[in-house]
Amino acid sequence: MLSAGLLSYAGFSALCLAMDRHHQEMLGRRPSPSRKVQLRVAGWALLGLSLWISVISAGWAMGLVRWTAVLMSSAVFLVWLLPYRPRWALVLAAVGVLLGLLAAVARW
């Protein structure tokens, strides 16, 4: 479940970066329209990958329940972190992608 949690946090962070306000806070500039689309696609892809990992590891019944819990916890953590340390949220998202994919590959 660690990999699903890290990937869902990174997915929510990418969706967050697709918004003008949060992109400005974290990176200091406004995103271009093509960058917004890329971030949205990446965010939804990471959320879908975390769903796939949860379902593969625990089956459809418990996988969806665990995925919902992982989504809630990662979203709460991101919402808590954004007002206080927006740069940390960005760094943790990058680390989350790397470690999440590494943990998923190590599982198989």
**Greatest pairwise CA separation for the chain in angstroms:** 43
What is the distance between the terminal CA atoms of the chain, rounded to a whole angstrom? 13
- Spatial distance between the Cα atoms of 1 and 66, rounded to a whole number of angstroms: 8
Tokens at 74, concatenated: 């990662």
pLDDT of residue 86: 84
The pTM assigned to this predicted structure is: 0.91
- Spatial distance between the Cα atoms of 36 and 39, rounded to a whole number of angstroms: 5
- Spatial distance between the Cα atoms of 53 and 102, rounded to a whole number of angstroms: 12
Tens digits of residue pLDDT in 49-69: 999 999 998 899 999 999 999
Instruction: Provide the residue ranges of all domains of the chain, joining segments of one domain with +.
Output: 2-107
Question: Average pLDDT over the chain, rounded to whole?
Answer: 91
The H or E element spanning position 17 is helix 2-17
Q: Averaged over 32-37, what is the pLDDT?
A: 94
- Residue pair 7/96 in contact by the 8 Å Cβ criterion: yes
Whether the CA torsion 97, 100, 106, 108 is positive or negative: it is: negative
The one-letter amino acid code at 34 reads S
- Whether residue 78 is predicted with pLDDT greater than 80 in this model: the reply is yes
Q: Averaged over 23-37, what is the pLDDT?
A: 90
